[in-house]
């Protein structure tokens, strides 16, 4: 299997992903990896009501419907075919940065997770945070849909601003299917920490502890600045002049480190797994190590 | 699009370094930042620093300067259309001569003209004038003119009375179709010759029948054969004279006639020749003296006399010129008529007859310069003189100089005859120049603002190099000047607004 005419995904992307040692990923009907253990009704999905026929199990009668209609109806449920994990990809404009844009890397990671889950009979739903209305979520149930998945992700662009991202997070928290997801992944640079902190708290309150994959460009960790520069904010378009490179770099390092520390404290407070990916060539390998380490723990 | 003063466009090169200087300036390089909050905020970008490209008011200023420079170059939209074509078709007596093939020269001329018109653009506006009567034969497109040619026939008369002169044709395209090229045909005119040289012909080229019952005749021979000429008079069929005429020979006769004759008809019994029209001449007694010149004068020369209000050298005396061997009296007085044509022959001044007249009138007409002669020839003398050198007229540095020998003028008929010829030549040379624009275009002159100002005033017309099309130029200079003014005002407005916003920002910062 290969993905041709794609820029974000190399031709052997699927083969490379499937060859990785994803030992800890969930399999069909596994019911989660522990964080969801004990969750009542896991693996069943309501499908429809039908009229009672003699011989049916009375335990499946929906008594609430009977109380309203005085007619016996059975609640038809089907077994959830695969564990569906949520992969939330930040499509704010700040992700469109770097020699290799961070959004490309995030979408490769998301696709890799989806492929690995599909190979194990599970499934993944990739949600474009900030552009759901335009792009919509994409699901991968079986490996046969890999090509279509990659073609869809190839078209995604990171153009949302902070407000759109905020509204996207609120809408996601209102989704009913969120309660049935065993795990969630957040792929973002995790700037504007206040919004992400609130979002993480909301997810934790729903017993869905997200895994935070912070994607950074090397230039963000250690920017190079040798001359005055006019900075243009990728999301807001705001402009500022940095006339003294040394002063600017010193201030940047201090603020960046403070932000990273606050992010670390947030993850600890909510017991959220956090991994920073700042080497584009090592993204997939780092993802596998992160997953295996979490499983081992 | 054309530029009358394209060298002004070089000034645009001067804007390039200006634009480069404005574009580079001292502004820092722009870079995108995924999170601007991490960078210390030193100074918000000023309006002039917000973009790497030029600020708006600088663009507007550059646009204004560019438009002004382009206006200096006097650009114009150019549209070409066929020039109107004026065709003169000679249908004088000599055009009735038949060639070996049996067709007359006029038929050949019409056929040649039809071929030439076929090659013209269909929309060309044409006028067909008939020489020598100066009649407008047809007017319309080239195709319509070809159809109109079928109606044209030879005429017995050759003297021109009315109609435009060659000198009045100006810049129009002119074709002349005939058996002889006029001497004063404009340089830009095209001459289409028809007809082979005459082989055998003899006939009357000039005649006068005075009140003293003196019959004066001039006969001329043409071709290569010697012709016997017998002069018979009707009525009575009396033979007055008989003589032989060599090819190219002209012979003047003075005959006494019966005083009772008021009119007579002369027939030259020379046998069949190529032009029949000059074999018969009908004369009536004219109470006025008539002078005639049997000379191959250019049509423009004769036209000059008439257009110049007919030089009058005495009471009741007018000059009659025979062109192409035939003439009509200047007036329509039936008491004086010369109603025949004649073949070509060499002109001789001695054949002139001149009645004594007061020379004062002549002198008064010539001595002071009656014409506005400015801008003529720019210092190059324009001079004419008689072969004897006793009469001369010159234009020098815008003034008319006449050198006349009063004694010669009083005693010599030829001198008196040559003087109006000189006048005619001069008038013919002067007239078209008088009608030229007073301010000549100085295309190509370096940094000539006159061209620019002329281009700003309005559209102009000129001919293409091949002379077939008229080029109409609609100048764009005034619009460019307007655009430059608007752009400059807009630049000032934008800059003022920017300055106010910067000042307001600084006040806010100062206020804390």
**Which residues in A lie closer than 8 A to residue B38 (C-beta atoms)?**
251-252, 255-256, 259
- DSSP 3-state assignment of A202? helix
CB contact under 8 A, A252 and B38: yes
The alpha-carbon gap from B38 to the nearest alpha carbon of chain A, in Å, equals 5
- Residue A33 resides in a domain: no
Q: Which residues contact B210 (CB under 8 A, 6 or more apart)?
A: B216, B286, B289, B290
- In this prediction, residue A276 carries a pLDDT of 93
Q: What is the pLDDT of residues A34-80, one digit of tens each?
A: 333 333 334 556 667 778 878 777 777 888 888 888 888 887 765 45
The alpha-carbon gap from B51 to the nearest alpha carbon of chain A, in Å, equals 9
**Which residues in B lie closer than 8 A to residue A242 (C-beta atoms)?**
28, 39-40, 42
Q: What is the pLDDT of residues A157-204, one digit of tens each?
A: 998 988 888 888 888 888 776 766 778 899 999 988 888 888 888 887
Q: Which residues contact A200 (CB under 8 A, 6 or more apart)?
A: A186, A210, A212, A266, A270, A272
The alpha-carbon gap from A189 to the nearest alpha carbon of chain B, in Å, equals 9
- Residue A237 resides in a domain: no
- Residue A135 resides in a domain: yes
Plot region of A50 (φ>0 → left; ψ -120 to 50 → alpha; else → beta)? beta
User: Domains of chain B: which residue ranges?
Assistant: 2-25+43-77+478-510, 84-193, 198-337, 358-431
Residue A239 has its nearest CB partner, among B34, B37, B50, at: B50
Residue A297 reports pLDDT greater than 90: no
- In this prediction, residue B372 carries a pLDDT of 26
A interface test, pick of B40, B44, B50 with most A CB neighbours within 10 Å: B40
* A37: its two tokens: 């253990």
- In this prediction, residue A90 carries a pLDDT of 94
**Which residues in A lie closer than 8 A to residue B36 (C-beta atoms)?**
231-233, 236, 238, 240
Separation between Cα atoms, residue A57 and residue A72, nearest integer Å: 11
CB contact under 8 A, A251 and B40: yes
* B188: its two tokens: 């830009």
**Which residues in A lie closer than 8 A to residue B31 (C-beta atoms)?**
229-232
3-state percent helix, strand, coil for chain A, nearest multiple of 5: 45, 20, 35
- Residue A159 resides in a domain: yes
Mean pLDDT of chain A: 82
- In this prediction, residue B73 carries a pLDDT of 84
A246: nearest CA in chain B?
A: B40
CB contact under 8 A, B32 and A232: yes
- In this prediction, residue A186 carries a pLDDT of 93
* B344: its two tokens: 């070509």
- DSSP 3-state assignment of B221? strand
- In this prediction, residue B365 carries a pLDDT of 35
**Which residues in B lie closer than 8 A to residue A234 (C-beta atoms)?**
32-34
* Second-level CATH architecture of B198-337: Sandwich (2.60)
**Which residues in B lie closer than 8 A to residue A192 (C-beta atoms)?**
35
- In this prediction, residue A149 carries a pLDDT of 92
Separation between Cα atoms, residue B243 and residue B357, nearest integer Å: 35
CB contact under 8 A, B36 and A236: yes
**Which residues in B lie closer than 8 A to residue A248 (C-beta atoms)?**
39-40, 42
Residue A227 has its nearest CB partner, among B28, B44, B45, at: B28
Asked whether the beta carbons of B341 and B281 are under 8 A apart, the reply is no
Q: What is the pLDDT of residues A283-293, one digit of tens each?
A: 999 998 888 87
- DSSP 3-state assignment of A127? strand
- Residue A232 resides in a domain: no
Residues A2-12: b if buried by 16+ CB within 10 A, e if exposed: ebeeeebbeee
- DSSP 3-state assignment of B283? strand
State the DSSP string of B471-512: EEEEE-HHHHHHHHHHHHHHHHHHHHHHHHHHHHHHHHHHT-
Separation between Cα atoms, residue B119 and residue A52, nearest integer Å: 101
- Residue A160 resides in a domain: yes
Asked whether the beta carbons of A94 and A215 are under 8 A apart, the reply is no
A231: nearest CA in chain B?
A: B31
> Which residues is B364 bridged to in the sheet?
none
- In this prediction, residue A264 carries a pLDDT of 93
Laid out side by side, the sheet with A184-188 consists of: A138-140, A123-129, A84-90, A184-188, A210-215, A274-277
- Whether B84-193 and B198-337 share one fold: the answer is no
| Overall average pLDDT of the A117-124 stretch | 86
**Which residues in A lie closer than 8 A to residue B34 (C-beta atoms)?**
94-95, 97, 102, 189, 191, 217, 220, 234
Domain at A144, CATH number: 3.40.50.410
Residue B32 has its nearest CB partner, among A97, A240, A252, at: A97
Q: Which residues contact B429 (CB under 8 A, 6 or more apart)?
A: B382, B395
Q: How many CA atoms lie within 13 A of B106 on its CB side?
A: 20
The alpha-carbon gap from A162 to the nearest alpha carbon of chain B, in Å, equals 11
> Which residues is B204 bridged to in the sheet?
B219
A97: nearest CA in chain B?
A: B34
Separation between Cα atoms, residue B294 and residue A177, nearest integer Å: 121
The alpha-carbon gap from A286 to the nearest alpha carbon of chain B, in Å, equals 23
CB contact under 8 A, B45 and A230: yes
Let me know if domain B84-193 sits in CATH 3.40.50.2300. no
Helix axes B11-24, B56-72, angle to 10 degrees: 170
B interface test, pick of A190, A217, A231 with most B CB neighbours within 10 Å: A231
- The size of the A-B interface in CB pairs under 8 A is 94
CB contact under 8 A, B42 and A242: yes
- Residue A48 resides in a domain: no
Per-residue pLDDT of chain B (512 residues; tens, 9 = 90+): 777 778 888 888 888 887 776 666 556 677 888 888 888 776 555 544 444 456 778 888 888 989 998 888 888 887 777 888 888 888 776 777 777 777 888 888 999 999 988 888 888 888 888 776 566 778 888 888 888 888 777 655 433 333 345 555 544 688 888 887 776 777 778 888 888 777 777 777 666 666 566 677 777 787 787 888 877 776 567 777 888 888 878 787 777 777 666 556 666 655 667 777 677 766 655 433 222 222 333 343 333 333 322 333 223 333 333 333 333 333 333 332 222 222 222 222 222 222 233 333 333 333 333 322 222 233 333 444 444 444 454 444 434 444 444 454 555 555 555 555 555 555 444 444 434 333 333 333 344 455 555 555 555 666 666 667 777 777 788 888 899 999 999 988 888 776 666 666 566 656 65
> Which residues is B3 bridged to in the sheet?
B75
Residue A247 has its nearest CB partner, among B31, B38, B40, at: B40
Asked whether the beta carbons of B314 and B361 are under 8 A apart, the reply is yes
Which residues form the domain of A114? 13-20+82-216+274-296
* B186: its two tokens: 């404009």
Cα distances (angstroms) measured from residue A263 to each of A26, A214, B39, B82: 27, 10, 18, 84
- Residue A283 resides in a domain: yes
Separation between Cα atoms, residue B355 and residue A101, nearest integer Å: 111
Overall domain count for chain A: 1
CB contact under 8 A, B39 and A189: no
DSSP state of B198: P
Q: Which residues contact B302 (CB under 8 A, 6 or more apart)?
A: B160, B321, B323, B424
- DSSP 3-state assignment of B247? coil
CB contact under 8 A, A233 and B33: yes
Separation between Cα atoms, residue B320 and residue B428, nearest integer Å: 17
**Which residues in A lie closer than 8 A to residue B50 (C-beta atoms)?**
230, 239
* B449: its two tokens: 């603002």
The band of A103, judged by pLDDT with boundaries at 50, 70 and 90, is: very high
Separation between Cα atoms, residue B325 and residue B49, nearest integer Å: 90
Closest C-alpha to B220, from B208, B243, B232, B202 = B202
CB contact under 8 A, B39 and A231: yes
The alpha-carbon gap from A160 to the nearest alpha carbon of chain B, in Å, equals 12
Separation between Cα atoms, residue A218 and residue A241, nearest integer Å: 22
CB contact under 8 A, A229 and B37: no
Separation between Cα atoms, residue B63 and residue B486, nearest integer Å: 10
State the DSSP string of A139-189: EE-SGGGHHHHHHHHHT----B-HHHHHHHHHHHHT-GGGGG-S-EEEEE-
Predicted complex: ipTM over 0.85 = no
């Amino acid at each position: 299997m290969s993905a041709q005419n794609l820029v974000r995904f190399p031709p052997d992307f699927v083969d490379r992903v499937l060859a990785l040692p994803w030992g800890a990923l969930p399999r069909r009907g596994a019911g989660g990896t522990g964080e969801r253990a004990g969750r009542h009704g896991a693996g069943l999905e309501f499908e429809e009501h039908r009229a009672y026929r003699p011989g049916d199990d009375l335990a499946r009668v929906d008594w609430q419907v009977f109380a309203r209609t005085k007619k016996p109806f059975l609640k038809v449920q089907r077994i959830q075919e695969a564990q569906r994990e949520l992969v939330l990809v930040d499509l704010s404009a700040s992700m469109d940065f770097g020699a290799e844009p961070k959004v490309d890397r995030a979408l490769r990671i998301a696709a890799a997770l989806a492929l690995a889950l599909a190979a194990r009979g599970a499934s993944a739903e990739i949600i474009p945070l900030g552009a759901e209305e335009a792009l919509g979520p994409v699901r991968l149930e079986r490996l046969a849909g890999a090509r279509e998945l990659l073609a869809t992700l190839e078209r995604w662009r990171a153009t949302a601003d902070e407000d759109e991202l905020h509204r996207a997070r609120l809408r996601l928290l209102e989704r009913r299917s969120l309660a049935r997801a065993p795990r969630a992944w957040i792929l973002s640079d995790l700037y504007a920490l206040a919004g992400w902190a609130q979002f993480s708290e909301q997810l934790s309150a729903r017993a869905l502890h997200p895994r935070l994959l912070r994607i950074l460009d090397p230039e963000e960790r250690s920017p190079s600045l040798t001359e005055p520069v006019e900075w243009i904010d990728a999301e807001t378009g705001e402009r500022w002049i940095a006339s003294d490179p040394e002063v600017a770099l010193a201030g940047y390092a201090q603020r960046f480190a403070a932000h990273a520390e606050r992010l670390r404290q947030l993850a600890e407070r909510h017991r959220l797994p956090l991994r920073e990916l700042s080497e584009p060539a090592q993204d997939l390998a780092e993802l596998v190590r992160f997953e295996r380490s979490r499983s081992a723990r | 699009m054309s530029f009358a003063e394209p060298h002004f466009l070089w000034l645009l090169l001067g804007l390039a370094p200006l634009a480069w200087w404005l574009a580079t300036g001292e502004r820092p390089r722009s870079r995108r930042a995924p999170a601007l909050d991490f960078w210390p905020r030193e100074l918000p970008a000023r309006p002039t620093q917000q973009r790497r490209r030029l600020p708006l008011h600088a663009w507007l200023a550059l646009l204004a300067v560019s438009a002004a420079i382009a206006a200096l170059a006097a650009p114009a939209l150019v549209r070409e259309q066929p020039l109107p074509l004026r065709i003169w078709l000679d249908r004088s007596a000599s055009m009735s001569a038949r060639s070996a093939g049996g067709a007359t020269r006029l038929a050949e001329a019409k056929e040649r003209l039809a071929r030439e018109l076929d090659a013209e653009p269909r929309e060309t506006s044409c006028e067909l004038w008939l020489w020598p009567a100066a009649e407008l034969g047809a007017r319309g497109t080239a195709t319509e003119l070809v159809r109109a040619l079928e109606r044209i026939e030879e005429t017995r008369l050759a003297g021109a009375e009315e109609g435009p002169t060659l000198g009045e044709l100006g810049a129009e395209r002119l074709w002349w179709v005939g058996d002889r090229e006029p001497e004063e045909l404009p340089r830009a005119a095209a001459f289409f010759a028809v007809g082979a040289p005459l082989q055998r012909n003899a006939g009357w080229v000039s005649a006068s029948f005075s009140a003293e019952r003196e019959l004066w005749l001039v006969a001329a021979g043409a071709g290569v054969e010697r012709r016997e000429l017998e002069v018979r008079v009707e009525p009575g069929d009396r033979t007055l004279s008989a003589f032989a005429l060599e090819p190219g020979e002209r012979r003047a006769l003075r005959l006494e006639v019966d005083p009772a004759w008021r009119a007579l008809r002369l027939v030259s019994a020379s046998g069949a020749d190529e032009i029949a029209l000059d074999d018969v001449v009908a004369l009536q007694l004219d109470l006025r003296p008539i002078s005639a010149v049997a000379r191959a004068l250019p049509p423009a020369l004769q036209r000059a006399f008439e257009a110049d209000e007919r030089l009058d050298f005495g009471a009741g005396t007018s000059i009659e010129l025979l062109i192409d061997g035939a003439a009509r009296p200047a007036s329509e007085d039936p008491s004086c008529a010369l109603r025949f044509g004649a073949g070509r022959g060499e002109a001789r001044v001695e054949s002139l007859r001149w009645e004594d007249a007061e020379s004062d009138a002549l002198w008064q007409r010539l001595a002071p310069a009656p014409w506005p002669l400015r801008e003529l020839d720019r210092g190059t003398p324009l001079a004419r003189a008689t072969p004897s050198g006793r009469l001369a007229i010159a234009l020098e540095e815008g003034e008319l100089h006449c050198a006349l020998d009063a004694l010669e003028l009083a005693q010599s008929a030829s001198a008196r005859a040559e003087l109006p010829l000189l006048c005619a030549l001069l008038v013919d040379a002067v007239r078209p120049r008088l009608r030229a624009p007073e301010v000549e275009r100085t295309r190509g002159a370096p940094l000539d603002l006159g061209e620019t100002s002329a281009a700003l005033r309005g559209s102009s017309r000129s001919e293409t190099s091949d002379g077939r099309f008229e080029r109409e130029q609609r100048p764009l200079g005034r619009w460019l000047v307007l655009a430059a003014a608007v752009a400059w005002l807009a630049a000032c407005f934008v800059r003022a607004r920017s300055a106010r916003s910067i000042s307001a920002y600084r006040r806010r910062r100062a206020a804390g």
